[in-house]
Structure formats: structure tokens, C-alpha cells
Amino acid sequence: MILSIALKSLNHRLTAVLLTMLSIIVSVSLLLSVEHLRIQAKDSFGRTISGVDLIVGAPTGQSNLLLYSVFRIGNPTNNVSWDSYQALAKLPSVKWIIPIALGDSHRGFRVLGTNNNYFQHFQYGSKQPLVLAQGTQLLSTFDAVIGAAVAKKLNYQLGDEIEMSHGLAEVSFTKHSHSPFVVKGILEPTGTPVDQTIHVSLAGLEAAHKSESEIDEILHQIEAGEQVDIDIDGVTAMFIGLNSKMQLFQLQRGINQYKKEPMLAIIPGVAFSELWQLVGNVENMLLFISALILFSSLLGLGTMLLTTVRERRHEMAILRAIGAHSRVIFLLIQMEAMLLSLFASVIALILVWLGFQFGAKWLSAEYGLFIENSILGLRSLAIIGLVSGATFLIACIPAISAYRQSIQQGLISK
Amino acid sequence: MTTQRWSIEFDNVTFGYPSPRPSNLGEAQGLTIDIKKWQVEENQTVFISGQSGSGKSTLLNLICGTLQPSSGSISILGQAFSALSESKRDRFRAEHIGVVFQQFNLIPYLSVKQNIELAAYFGKGLKVATTETIINICQQLNLPSTLLQAPASQLSVGQQQRVAIARALINQPELLIVDEPTSALDSSARDSFMQLLMDSAKRYQFTLLFVSHDLSLADYFEQHIKLADINQAGEISE
């Protein structure tokens, strides 16, 4: 009965109720979205690379090495020499080694020089290997294997030619217009920066920086089926897989103390944690701002109810006259607040679910962000529980006011 | 010899509001109610008159148990209120006392039927508020059954007053308190309302306590009490 009165009372003040509800819907949606994106971003962040024991590059901060080698964010400070790469590759503790060379781009997408170890050993997510959707790995000097996002956005097919630019800008004045790279493979989507990358051979990347006549000579050698011999100066970084995890710290120390060339070896998991601490402050800030917005919306709800308490003194008097205890008055105001807040939370949950349902594809296509639509989970229920708890506390102000008013005024008749 | 039964018994009752009083009741100036001895016989119809500020509203709150006297004892229908907790007084009021106000008698966003059912919910339970019972009471009060689903806010003042009586009667109260219910009615509606009220008092056999400053209505009642005659407290300005 009280529930029915509360519902009809809310319906009686529909405009004010709808505006308040809209405000709560927006703030709860924001809170749910930020929390979901935070969790998904952390998951997505952690699934970018898997199965790599060490990342080695020129001396810099470990976050910087992780950012440019794994996320293709920022620029390397220096290269590691080819001799050092070979020295590491020959170590008995090293099971496999993937060289990567960065610096060039194609229409805003990073070009990464590597070898076929990349396609054999690089893993992401839960040790998932890279899978070719079409074509082959790097079989020749000027072959290119492109990520799924590159293929989709640039509408590239097998056999299309790629023209590389120096640097990262989408429009570059320094183009290697004579570099004759051809798309030979397209990777399945991974939800990692791999999707946004154009993979070429180290030799091809090195050759792209040579003069037009030198490139023509290389192409001639390829056509003639001759062995193409291109010297590689160095690499940007290396991903290393070990035979035994027991050797991890020993090898890391050995690389960091390598006398012939200064190098930095980092453990991806440790670097991820350090980097996430920086990102974590931002996400906490976002969460805090969302909570503040929610708090202000709930204060709006409290204010709306408080202003109606005075207007509703006759209603309270009638309820008291027919035998309702003052606690019923308290309960009625609380119930109205809780109903409004719960309706708003459920609508917000549905809206966020729909948003991720339809927005997930766009996010993966545009930004390579793979967001799982697992919003209807315990975490969301916990957030709605917290919102309800906060609503109860804030609604205590108008509810107590109504309770006290009903005791003080008794049965007013005018 | 039969034992006299009282609906209302006041024995050395005093009441004063703590200062400042609630805004709707004005400023405190000592005691509002000071009644040495006052008794109302069972099933009597009593008219209480008094000027504004003479303590009528306070008296009604004391009789309903929403206010507790500063001293003395109040018994309603043989039940001493001082022996009851606040919850029990609320329950007692819901089951035994009906109240009709001057105006604003109904919850505007509920239908006529829901307003009547609400009184039963807090009183003797929804089982007493069958549609048949509600229709019967409404018919006796000249309320067409087509009005039952209408929102209370759409009724005329006269219809609202009759619904308020219907709501009070649904729990078959032994005491009905009516506080200046005719002040918002024109003379023909007032006469019609008074007739209905007096007929109901006879039919349902309840004690009727009618409070008004309109002395022309006193003739309807068996007993006329001037509040100033029983209340020794000085006049309070409202």
C-alpha cells in the first residue's frame, strides 16, 4: 500500500521527478561507464603482450621502453646495434628473440621492421598467437603483413602497394616513394596495437632508406632469384622468450650490465604495473569526478523531496489522522527516493549496456579498443547498491524533516 | 442502575507548547489547554464552539492522541492514552476514531476508492474495505459509485467532504471528530452536509464531536459546549 502511494505520489509530480531522474540517469551512466572502461582498459592493457619474458632496448625509462616497443607510443631514444642483437640471440638461455625496428609510417600507421619470429612467437591476451586472416608471412624483402585495423581503414587487399614515410605524421614530406612494399598478408584482429601496425622485414625497412638506384638493384636481384644481402645497422628493441624462467633475473642483470653496449632489459609485467600506477591515478580521478557528479545529482533529489515536504503537510496530516505512524511518513519519503533512484539506476544500466553493445564495434574499428559488454555483472550491481545506499543516506534529510513535521504539526486542518 | 459510559474523559488536563510553537499554531503564551474535568457521553452528538486561538486544534490533537498532555489524564472510549505508546495510540486512532477536516481531507493523487481503502489499511484492515462496502457507504452519503475511480483532486469541496466522511466510516469508528467542515461550503451544501452527518451518526451509532465557530449549527446537536467554559487557559492569539 505504501509502495503504491509512493508510486502515485511520484507520478503526481512527474515533471520534477523526471528531471531529477534524468540527472541521476546521467550520473549513474557516467559512473558505470567510467568503471567499466577502467576495468576493460586495464584488461586490454594487460593483454597487449603475452609470453614475452624480457623486452630489451636502448637505455631509457622502463615505462618509455614499454610504451614505444609494445604500444607504439612515443619514440625510441636510440637503437641497439645489430651485433648486440646477434650476441643476445646466440645466448643458450634465449629460446627465441624478436627484433623490432620502428621509425617509419604509412598514412598514420606505424611501420614495424621485424622477422618471421614475430609471427611465430609474439602472443597477446591469454597466450594467443597472431593468426593470418589472409596471405602469408614475410617471405621476401619487400613483403608487408598488415594489421586488421590497417586493412579495414585503408581498405587494403593482398597485392596492394605501400609507400612508406619517414616519421609518424599522416601527411609526410619525406616519403620513400620508391619503396616497393606489397601487402602479402593480413592479420586477424587482436584488439592490440598489432592491428594498427604494418609489418615489414628488417632488410626491407633498411632498404627503403637507400637511394633509388640501390633499391632498383635490390629489386633486380630479387627478380633474378639472387641472394639479397642488406646490412642491418640496428634494431629499436627486442622481445625475448627464455628457455627457463629461472634465468630471467640473471639474464636481465647481465643485459643491463653489458659492457660492449649500454642496454636496458625490462620484465613486461613489472613495467606494466609501474605504468598502470601512473594511469591508475588518472582513472581514480575520473572515478572520483563521476562519484562527485552522482553525489550532486542525489543532493538534487534530496532537495526536491525536501521542498515538497512543506507542500505536503496536509497529506502528512491526513495520513496521521487515519492512523499512520510518523515512521510511515519517514518510510514514504524514503521509498519515493529509493524508487526514483532505482528506476534511474536500472535505466542507466540498460543505456550503458546498449551503448557498449552498439559502440563496441566502433571502438574496436576506430581505436582498436576491444571492450567486452560485460556491464550486467556483479560490479555494476555493487555500484547500484552503493547508489541506493547513498540515496538512502541523502533521503534521510527530507524523510527526517517530514517525520519531525508530522509529529510537530499533529492534525492540522487549515 | 446502568453504568455511565464515556467516550471522552479529561481529568485535570493541561497542555502548553514549548516555545517557539509550530509556525501554524502561533507563539506560545503559557498553557493552551487547562481542563479540570470534561466528559462526553457515549453516542452523543456534541457541538464545541470557540473563537480562533481558543485551543480547538490543540484539543482535537489531544483527543486523537497526536499530542500528549503536560499533565492530567485523557481517556478515549475507556482507554487511558497515557498507558499507550505512540504506536499504540496511532493504532487506536486508526481503529476507533474518524477525523474530518475543514478542507484538504483527501490525498489528491489517489482516487476516491484508494483514499477510503487507505484508512482501512491503517485501521481494521483492507478486508473491511470491500468494493461493496465502499459503494454502500458512498451511496448513503449521496456519492455516485462512478466517482470511485476519480482522482480526489477532481472532486468539488462538498464531494470531498462527503468522501472524507466515507473514509472515516469505513472503520466503523466509535468517535467521529469533525473540525469546521462546513466553512468552505455554501448554505445549501452546508445544510445537506449537516443532515448527512447527523443521519450517519444515528445510523452508525458513534459519538460525534463537531468543532466550529459557526453557532448557527449548534441546533443540530444534543449538546453545545463553549470551549472557553471548560478550558481555563487564557486566550491564545493565533
How many contacts (CB atoms, under 8 Å) link A and B?
A: 87
Strand order in the sheet with B97-100: B97-100, B175-179, B207-212, B45-49, B223-226
Query: Is the pLDDT score of A413 beyond 70?
Result: no
* Pairing verdict, β A237-242 and A54-57: antiparallel
Q: Which residues of B touch A321 (CB under 8 A)?
A: 64, 93, 99, 101
Look at A413 and B66 and tell me if their CB atoms are within 8 Å: no
Q: Which three cell numbers stand for residue B97?
A: 476514531
Chain A touched by B160 (CB under 8 Å): no
Look at B24 and A409 and tell me if their CB atoms are within 8 Å: yes
Chain A touched by B101 (CB under 8 Å): yes
ipTM confidence score = 0.79
* pLDDT at res. A101: 92
Chain A touched by B95 (CB under 8 Å): yes
Look at B66 and A414 and tell me if their CB atoms are within 8 Å: no
How many Cβ atoms from other residues are within 10 Å of residue A388's Cβ? 15
Look at A325 and B105 and tell me if their CB atoms are within 8 Å: no
Q: What are phi and psi of A208, to 5 degrees?
A: -60, -20
Look at B109 and A9 and tell me if their CB atoms are within 8 Å: yes
Q: Which three cell numbers stand for residue A41?
A: 582498459
DSSP alpha helices (H): ranges in chain B?
56-64, 86-96, 112-122, 131-140, 157-169, 187-204, 227-230
What pLDDT digit, counting tens, does each position of B21-57 carry? 554 444 445 788 889 999 999 889 999 988 877 788 8
Q: Which three cell numbers stand for residue A393?
A: 543516506
Chain A touched by B22 (CB under 8 Å): yes
Residues 6+ apart with CB under 8 A from A280: none
Residues 278-317 of A with CB under 8 A from B: 313-315, 317
Q: Which residues of B touch A315 (CB under 8 A)?
A: 107-108
The total number of structural domains that make up chain B: 1
Closest CA of chain A from B232, distance in Å: 22
Which residue among B66, B102, B110 places its CB closest to the CB of A320?
B66
Mean pLDDT of A232-236: 89
Chain B touched by A326 (CB under 8 Å): yes
Look at B57 and A5 and tell me if their CB atoms are within 8 Å: no
In this prediction, residue A228 has a pLDDT band, given cuts at 50, 70 and 90, of confident
Is A71 exposed, middle or buried, given 0-12, 13-18 or 19+ CB atoms closer than 10 A?
A: middle
Extended beta strands in A13-129, E state: 54-57, 80-81, 94-106, 109-114, 123-124, 128-129
Residue A137: name the closest of A187, A100, A207, A96 by CA. A187
Exposed e or buried b for every residue in B30-51, given b needs 16+ CB within 10 A?
ebbbbbeebebebbbbbbbbbe
In this prediction, residue A230 has a pLDDT band, given cuts at 50, 70 and 90, of confident
Chain B touched by A413 (CB under 8 Å): yes
Of A320 and A366, which is predicted with more confidence?
A320
Closest CA of chain B from A407, distance in Å: 7
Coil, helix or strand at residue B14 = strand
Q: Which residues of B touch A1 (CB under 8 A)?
A: 117-118, 121, 126
DSSP structure string for A119-174: HHH-EETTTEEP-EEEE-S--STTEEEE-HHHHHHHT--TT-EEEEEESS-SS-SS
Which residue among B60, B119, B123 places its CB closest to the CB of A411?
B60
Look at B109 and A11 and tell me if their CB atoms are within 8 Å: yes
Look at A5 and B179 and tell me if their CB atoms are within 8 Å: no
Q: Which residues of B touch A12 (CB under 8 A)?
A: 108-109
Q: Which three cell numbers stand for residue A261?
A: 653496449
Closest CA of chain A from B87, distance in Å: 6
How many Cβ atoms from other residues are within 10 Å of residue A353's Cβ? 17
Q: Are A189 and A148 in contact (CB under 8 A)?
A: yes
Q: Name the residue of chain A whose CA is nearest to B86's CA.
A: A325
Residue A275: name the closest of A22, A86, A71 by CA. A71
pLDDT (tens place) for every residue of chain B, 238 residues total? 456 688 899 999 998 887 655 544 444 457 888 899 999 998 899 999 888 777 888 888 899 888 889 899 999 998 888 888 888 888 898 889 988 887 777 888 999 999 999 888 888 777 777 888 888 888 888 888 888 899 988 888 888 888 988 888 888 889 999 888 777 777 777 888 888 888 888 888 899 999 888 888 889 999 999 888 888 876 444 4
Q: Are B81 and B89 in contact (CB under 8 A)?
A: yes
Query: Is the pLDDT score of A229 beyond 70?
Result: yes
Exposure on the CB side of residue B162, measured as CA atoms within 13 A: 27
Residue written as grid cell 472503520:
B171
Chain A touched by B176 (CB under 8 Å): no
Query: Where do the structural domains in chain A lie, given as residue ranges?
Result: 2-45+278-409, 54-266
Closest CA of chain B from A1, distance in Å: 8
Q: How far is CA A313 from CA A394, A414, B18, in A?
A: 20, 10, 20
Chain A touched by B191 (CB under 8 Å): no
In this prediction, residue A121 has a pLDDT band, given cuts at 50, 70 and 90, of very high
Average pLDDT of the residues of chain A: 85
Q: Are B147 and B134 in contact (CB under 8 A)?
A: no
Residue written as grid cell 633474378:
A224
Chain B touched by A227 (CB under 8 Å): no
Q: Are B209 and B176 in contact (CB under 8 A)?
A: yes
Query: Is the pLDDT score of A411 beyond 90?
Result: no
Chain B touched by A269 (CB under 8 Å): no
* pLDDT at res. A370: 67
Query: Is the pLDDT score of A154 beyond 60?
Result: yes
* pLDDT at res. A85: 93
Q: End-to-end distance of chain B based on CA atoms, in angstroms?
A: 46
Closest CA of chain B from A406, distance in Å: 9
Residue B236: inside a domain, yes or no?
A: no
* pLDDT at res. A167: 58
* pLDDT at res. A391: 92
Query: Using CA atoms, how far apart are residues B156 and B112, in angstroms rounded to an integer?
Result: 12
Query: Is the pLDDT score of A239 beyond 90?
Result: yes
Query: Using CA atoms, how far apart are residues A268 and A248, in angstroms rounded to an integer?
Result: 12
DSSP summary character for residue A324 = -
Closest CA of chain B from A390, distance in Å: 28
Residue B1: inside a domain, yes or no?
A: no
DSSP summary character for residue A312 = T
The model's pTM is 0.71
Query: Is the pLDDT score of A302 beyond 50?
Result: yes
DSSP structure string for A193-212: GGGGEEEEEHHHHHHHTS-H
The identity of residue B19, as a single letter, is S
Residue written as grid cell 497515557:
B82
Query: Is the pLDDT score of A270 beyond 50?
Result: yes
Query: Using CA atoms, how far apart are residues A414 and A101, in angstroms rounded to an integer?
Result: 85
* pLDDT at res. B2: 53
Q: Print the domain residue range for B176.
A: 6-230
What pLDDT digit, counting tens, does each position of A12-66 carry? 889 989 998 999 999 899 888 888 888 887 777 777 888 899 999 999 988 889 9
How many Cβ atoms from other residues are within 10 Å of residue A299's Cβ? 14
Query: Using CA atoms, how far apart are residues B188 and A327, in angstroms rounded to an integer?
Result: 41
Look at A410 and B64 and tell me if their CB atoms are within 8 Å: yes
Q: Which three cell numbers stand for residue B196?
A: 448527512
Query: Is the pLDDT score of A238 beyond 90?
Result: yes
CATH number for the domain spanning B11: value is 3.40.50.300
Q: Which residues of B touch A316 (CB under 8 A)?
A: none
Chain A touched by B109 (CB under 8 Å): yes
Query: Using CA atoms, how far apart are residues A387 and B132, in angstroms rounded to an integer?
Result: 44
* pLDDT at res. A87: 93
Q: Are A50 and A123 in contact (CB under 8 A)?
A: yes
Q: Are A344 and A337 in contact (CB under 8 A)?
A: no
Q: Which residues of A touch B109 (CB under 8 A)?
A: 8-9, 11-12
Look at A324 and B103 and tell me if their CB atoms are within 8 Å: no
* pLDDT at res. B209: 92
Chain A touched by B114 (CB under 8 Å): yes
Query: Is the pLDDT score of A368 beyond 60?
Result: no
Query: Is the pLDDT score of A290 beyond 70?
Result: yes
Closest CA of chain A from B66, distance in Å: 6
